Amino acid sequence: MKKMISLLCFIVVVIITTAPPPSSSSSSNGDLQNSSRVKLVDDYILRVANDVGFGDWMKNIRREIHEYPEVGFEETRTSSVIRRELEKMSIAYRWPVASTGVVATIGSALPPFVALRADMDALPIQELVEWEHKSKIDGKMHACGHDAHVAMLLGAAKILKQLENQLQGTVVLIFQPAEERGEGAKEMIKEGVVENVEAIFGLHLVVSSDSGVVVTRPGEFLAGCGCFKALIHAKTASSNPILAVSASIISLQHIVSREADPLDTPVVSVAMVDGGSHDDTLNVIPESVSIAGTFRAFSKKTFYALGQRIQEVIKAQAGVYGCWCVVDLEGNEYPSVPPTVNDKRIYEHVIQVSNAIVGKDNTQTTQPFMGSEDFAFYLEKIPGALAFLGMRNAKAGLVHSPHSPYYSVDEQVLPTGSALHATFAYTYLFNHFNQSLLTI
């Protein structure tokens, strides 16, 4: 019976969405018709996503991926699961992209192009959650929800494939490796995955909001995260790199307290100092000492200026104490990730989609988060927006933060995530098509 209802709803969608566009002389009627079409599609997407069998299918995919976690650029098994499911749905894809990534397309194969992205890498963490589908790989775990992100995007693919004949353009599905390393998005961009793409949407599960709540904001959303490492070396026998390092650490703290805009919220942290011998020799000054740390800021201008200032401060203090130094800000070991800045126009579209899928009461605009996401690299290239989907469920004990060995996912939100992805893409293309008609 449920399948019959879904089929009937789909037939209604096909009939209405393929009706002739309204004439320009009846714009009010056209707006009403367009609104009705979108509403019917939203309802259809929700019906499909909330079907029990559909939800179970996504759970099984998520659990299969969870049992065999793979870290950045090693996601061969994960990508094989993705490709298997895409092939079952007769969805064309390109692989490998950026070593292990997969890029699929649904629709007319013509512009406009809109992209949906899911990251798929795990973390080098030993899972401590005891359950049937616990990680089978020692020292590796999906502790940030990327297994669920893949399942939700595959769910969206299944929905969009059923609506393919009504897509007024092409949807690009990006299954990206190595987000945790801060390198995956950059490598995907290098391989041209967002060429000709007009807008991109990303979704990330969080425990900071209750299950089913969508959280986002326009403009600056997540902080940029940069890393620095410096080696300070004595020039002469009388030089003391320990003093140079000490002065550098104190001066670095003054950047935030004395130089930064008090209305901005940059952070500079020295987290490592390494120097001297390790054999209890206390009367020998080392030839060199190294320090390392991180810096964060929400503003792109502040973020990049902060990195430059860190380099200037360390080099200056090294010179004062008769030392030379090398400062690494290129992120060779820990790549820097810029601030995540949502495009305001795409943000508005996300809000409209979220209102339709989870309701206005469950759609929230939030303050910026100090965390980082390499989705930011896409946003430097094309307009887009990142949103959070809450999955906090205190009764079920689903309260542990990402990167915790006790992290677990509320699988009940998987259908919501797939519906958000699918609705974002469908309605973006639909709106773009109708706006194009008005300019003819």
Tens of pLDDT, residues 48-84? 999 999 999 999 999 999 999 999 999 999 999 999 9
Tell me the percentage of the chain whose pLDDT exceeds 70: 88
Structural tokens at position 265: 């919220």
Structural tokens at position 48: 């499909």
Q: Taking a C-beta distance cutoff of 8 angstroms, is the pair 107, 429 a contact?
A: yes
**In this predicted structure, what is the pLDDT of residue 39?**
75
- To the question of whether residue 142 is assigned a binding role by annotation, the answer is no
User: SS3 helix, strand, coil % of the chain, rounded to 5?
Assistant: 45, 25, 30
Q: Domain map of the chain by residue range?
A: 2-6+38-221+339-439, 224-328
**In this predicted structure, what is the pLDDT of residue 35?**
67
CA distance 68 to 139: 11
Q: Taking a C-beta distance cutoff of 8 angstroms, is the pair 306, 300 a contact?
A: no
- To the question of whether residue 421 is assigned a binding role by annotation, the answer is no
**In this predicted structure, what is the pLDDT of residue 3?**
44
2-6+38-221+339-439: CATH architecture: 3-Layer(aba) Sandwich (3.40)
Tell me the per-residue pLDDT of 280-326, one tens digit each, with 9 for 90 and over.
Answer: 677 788 999 999 999 999 999 999 999 999 999 999 999 999 999 99
Tell me the per-residue pLDDT of 228-265, one tens digit each, with 9 for 90 and over.
Answer: 999 999 999 889 999 999 999 999 999 988 877 777 78
- To the question of whether residue 9 is assigned a binding role by annotation, the answer is no
Query: Which CATH fold topology does 224-328 show?
Result: Alpha-Beta Plaits (3.30.70)
Amino acid at 185: A
Residues of the chain with pLDDT under 70: 1-37, 278-280, 331-334, 436-440
CA distance 245 to 359: 54
Write out the DSSP string of 293-329.
EEEEESSHHHHHHHHHHHHHHHHHHHHHTTEEEEEE-
- To the question of whether residue 144 is assigned a binding role by annotation, the answer is yes
Q: Which residue, among 269, 95, 63, has the nearest Cα to 174 in the 3D structure?
A: 95
Q: Does the pTM of the predicted model rise above 0.85?
A: yes
Q: Phi and psi of 321, rounded to 5°?
A: -100, 25
